[in-house]
Amino acid sequence: MDRLTLNTTLSFANLVQTDLLEVENILHSYIKADFPGLGTALDMIFSAGGKRIRPIMILLLGRMIASPRNKLIILATAIEMLHTATLVHDDLIDNSILRRGNPTLNTQWTSSATVLTGDLLFACSARLAADMENIEAIKLFSHTLIEIVNGELNQMFKGRCQVSREDYYQRIYAKTASMFQTGAKSTALITSPDPEKATALAKFGHDIGIAFQIIDDILDFTGEQATVGKPVASDLRQGLITLPAIIYIEEHPQEKEVQLLLQGKCLEGEKNINHLVESIRGSNAIKLSHQHARDYVASGIKALELFPPSPERLALEELACFIVNRDI
Amino acid sequence: MDRLTLNTTLSFANLVQTDLLEVENILHSYIKADFPGLGTALDMIFSAGGKRIRPIMILLLGRMIASPRNKLIILATAIEMLHTATLVHDDLIDNSILRRGNPTLNTQWTSSATVLTGDLLFACSARLAADMENIEAIKLFSHTLIEIVNGELNQMFKGRCQVSREDYYQRIYAKTASMFQTGAKSTALITSPDPEKATALAKFGHDIGIAFQIIDDILDFTGEQATVGKPVASDLRQGLITLPAIIYIEEHPQEKEVQLLLQGKCLEGEKNINHLVESIRGSNAIKLSHQHARDYVASGIKALELFPPSPERLALEELACFIVNRDI
């Protein structure tokens, strides 16, 4: 299967290759598009791949705690569908040109068609969630959707040029960790009524989700434009202050650009922004941010100690470590 | 309550005023917007009112069959929330300026904020649907969402200048009747496991939903621009062939403009379109379309005969008649 190339390179996914292939097949076949344009667009969206970290996490967790296979596969697909839906609308809103190295839908279609395609993916993820036939998991799912959209609105309306760790963690929870948390907790919900297990899995999902976003925010500073598909420090350029910037600002309160930001003002002029970006890239703020992400991963791995050692638990630890060690 | 002015003028809603007020309150308070812009925008969307036909129908049906009150109110709110979500994205996609005589959100906000606000309303309707705690109703709900979005995509990609009754009825089912049908059928699902009742209510919802859209399509031809908020025959001008046009075309196959349309070509030039619009307005196609709508309403009312006569059944008959007699 050509479309699974990316996934198979992730060794921690080996245990769940068969199930992952089924998730992939459902993603590609769930939407019956009876006009060619949409079919091609959807194929493009799903074939662009991505790392499928969320479904791999869910499938491994489910295998570890012996979830019913059918529901587990639906859950993994529902979460990846929801994730994809948010990407389609996000790229439209941010006017992004590339996603995973491929042109985004909004660069090829009208914005109207892109809005509707995102809506269709949202609707399909809701349908998949309903197919889990588990009220608690469905509620959690819908709650997460509200969380994600509210987070986006927050970022749009009040997130600019604010230097606040609290805001930052709220934002990355809404944006990323909530979906990891819901996927992980739902795995427990579809399996057993044991609240202790649900709490442990929710914590694992939450913590590696936070780590995942911190790394994304680091890569925004350190990644090469060609790899990431956007200009270096695109967040900061849009007035979005992420962890590396926050740490740098806290440690250099006297610098000119930092003082402006601490007064809640946005930086103006490319020269000023470039200067700050270079300072952050060259500072230990990157290393310290990495340490934060590693702490979250360690805490997530610790939450799994509730479960006896198993190949699945080991693979989940590898997945967690991959999240902080990746460079893409 | 100022915001209920419109509803209270509809006498068939008298029996359910208290519940309708609760629906209204939930609609207005469900979303905690912690930034002023969004709060104002949401208030504007919900205060613009609309006729609340869908929740009134659901509340009357539920009262007729003794649905559990809490779930009934959640269902009525979920459907109105979903309806509102579709309006927000539709107005953005169609670039509409007015909705119910008020400026649309997309004329006041960026399209990004409008996309997200629609997403938030979708998410809230999904949350409300989950709160019904009824798997079958939740599944129906998510299925309807797919139906609606697919209908919009169909209309965008292949609905232009096609003269086909079959396409037309498919389109108005997806666009309007599916939501009436789901609201009505869900009322049965949250009340009793009797499939016969569910089928009867689904038929009532479907039929008055079809009638509702036929009347909307008639009003597009006959309404005054100032009342409807868009130019006369805006559908035809966009290449969307609705029932009055289909009937006219079938009865006048020899006319120049009609021949072009029958060859699948879109009309060009305002003069040609205006000529056809005036011909349709002056023809009996309007009266015949009305007759179709009345037939659907009669068929919907007949479906209610499964239930013993009651003030609620009478009010539902009045609601159905209002749908075909309204001029707005």
What secondary structure does DSSP assign to B219-238, as a single string?
A: HHHHS-HHHHSS-TTHHHHT
Q: Is the pLDDT of residue A7 over 60?
A: no
Range in A38-47, B9-18, B74-83, B207-216 with the lowest mean pLDDT? A38-47
Backbone angles phi, psi at B258, to 5 degrees: -65, -40
**Measured between CA atoms, how close is A45 to chain B, in angstroms?**
17
pLDDT of residue A8: 47
What secondary structure does DSSP assign to B71-115, as a single string?
A: HHHHHHHHHHHHHHHHHHHHHHHHT-SEETTEE-HHHHS-HHHHH
- pTM above the 0.95 mark? no
Report the pLDDT averaged over residues A313-319: 97
How many Å apart are CA B247 and CA B239, to the nearest integer? 16
Q: Select from B17, B148, B26, B15 the least CA-distant residue to B93.
A: B148
Both structure tokens of B1: 């309550």
CA distances to A25, A71, A122, A137, B133 from A74, in Å: 12, 5, 15, 12, 19
B234-261, pLDDT tens digit by residue? Answer: 899 988 999 999 999 999 999 988 998 9
The reply to whether A30 touches chain B by the CB within 8 Å rule is: no
Taken in order B169, B171, B176, B181, the sign of the CA dihedral is positive
Report the pLDDT averaged over residues B10-39: 89
Q: Do B154 and A34 touch (CB under 8 A)?
A: yes
pLDDT of residue A170: 95
Range in A308-317, B26-35, B130-139, B186-195 with the lowest mean pLDDT? B26-35
**B49 pLDDT band (50/70/90 cuts)?**
low
Q: Select from A140, A118, A130 the least CA-distant residue to A74.
A: A130
**A39 pLDDT band (50/70/90 cuts)?**
confident
Q: Do A153 and B111 touch (CB under 8 A)?
A: no
**A229 pLDDT band (50/70/90 cuts)?**
low
**A1 pLDDT band (50/70/90 cuts)?**
very low
Q: Is the pLDDT of residue A207 over 80?
A: yes
Range in A118-132, B123-137, B251-265 with the lowest mean pLDDT? B251-265
Please list, in sequence order, all residues whose beta carbon lies within 8 angstroms of the beta carbon of residue A315, skipping any fewer than 6 positions away: A12, A13, A14, A15, A60
CA distances to A79, B21, B167 from B170, in Å: 30, 34, 5
* Contact in structure between A42 and A117 (CB atoms under 8 Å): yes
Report the pLDDT averaged over residues B98-103: 70
**Residue numbers in A near B34 (CB within 8 A):** 154
Q: Select from A215, A227, A246, A233 the least CA-distant residue to A281.
A: A233
pLDDT of residue A35: 74
Domain residue limits, chain B: 2-325
How many helices (H) and strands (E) are present in chain B, helices listed first?
Answer: 18, 2
**Measured between CA atoms, how close is B171 to chain A, in angstroms?**
14
Residues 173-212 of A with CB under 8 A from B: none
Question: DSSP state, A283?
Answer: S
pLDDT of residue A228: 56
Taken in order A28, A30, A33, A38, the sign of the CA dihedral is negative
Mean pLDDT of chain A: 90
A-B contacts at Cβ under 8 angstroms: 122
Q: Is the pLDDT of residue B2 over 70?
A: no
**Residue numbers in A near B118 (CB within 8 A):** 115, 119
The CATH fold of domain A2-325: Farnesyl Diphosphate Synthase (1.10.600)
Which of the two residues, B315 and A37, has the higher pLDDT score? B315
**Residue numbers in A near B142 (CB within 8 A):** 123, 126-127, 129-130
Strand, helix or coil at A190?
Answer: coil
User: Of B91, B142, B156, which to mutate for an interface test with A (greatest number of A Cβ within 10 Å)?
Assistant: B142
pLDDT of residue A159: 64
How many Å apart are CA B33 and CA B120, to the nearest integer? 11
pLDDT of residue A45: 84
pLDDT of residue B4: 39
The radius of gyration of chain B's CA atoms, rounded to the nearest angstrom, is: 20
pLDDT of residue A127: 97
Range in A22-36, A97-111, A161-175 with the lowest mean pLDDT? A97-111
A235-290, pLDDT tens digit by residue? Answer: 999 889 999 999 999 999 999 889 999 988 888 888 889 999 999 999 999 999 99
**Residue numbers in A near B143 (CB within 8 A):** 127
User: Of B94, B146, B186, B189, which to mutate for an interface test with A (greatest number of A Cβ within 10 Å)?
Assistant: B146
Taken in order B182, B187, B193, B196, the sign of the CA dihedral is negative
**Residue numbers in B near A127 (CB within 8 A):** 139, 142-143, 145-146
pLDDT of residue B159: 64
List beta partners, residue A220: none
**Residue numbers in A near B150 (CB within 8 A):** 120
Out of A116, A130, A149, name the one closest to residue B119 (CB).
Answer: A149
| Cα A28 to the center of its chain, rounded Å | 20
Report the pLDDT averaged over residues A37-56: 85
**A100 pLDDT band (50/70/90 cuts)?**
low
pLDDT of residue A226: 55
Report the pLDDT averaged over residues B195-199: 97
**A66 pLDDT band (50/70/90 cuts)?**
very high
Residues in chain B: 328
Both structure tokens of A16: 């769940």
Range in A27-41, A160-174, A314-328, B296-310 with the lowest mean pLDDT? A27-41
Q: Is the pLDDT of residue A143 over 60?
A: yes
How many Å apart are CA A31 and CA B150, to the nearest integer? 10
The reply to whether A133 touches chain B by the CB within 8 Å rule is: yes
Q: Is the pLDDT of residue A142 over 70?
A: yes
Which of the two residues, B325 and B35, has the higher pLDDT score? B325
Report the pLDDT averaged over residues B61-90: 96
Strand, helix or coil at A240?
Answer: strand
Backbone angles phi, psi at B160, to 5 degrees: -80, 130
If you measure CA to CA, which chain B residue comes closest to A138? B130
Q: Do A131 and B139 touch (CB under 8 A)?
A: yes
Backbone angles phi, psi at B65, to 5 degrees: -105, 15
CA distances to B168, B214, B216 from B326, in Å: 22, 12, 9
pLDDT of residue A156: 84
Helices (H), chain A: 5-8, 17-29, 36-47, 53-64, 69-94, 105-108, 111-131, 135-158, 165-172, 178-189, 195-222, 225-228, 234-237, 243-251, 256-262, 270-282, 285-303, 311-325
Please list, in sequence order, all residues whose beta carbon lies within 8 angstroms of the beta carbon of residue A152, skipping any fewer than 6 positions away: A90, A93, A174, A175, B116, B119
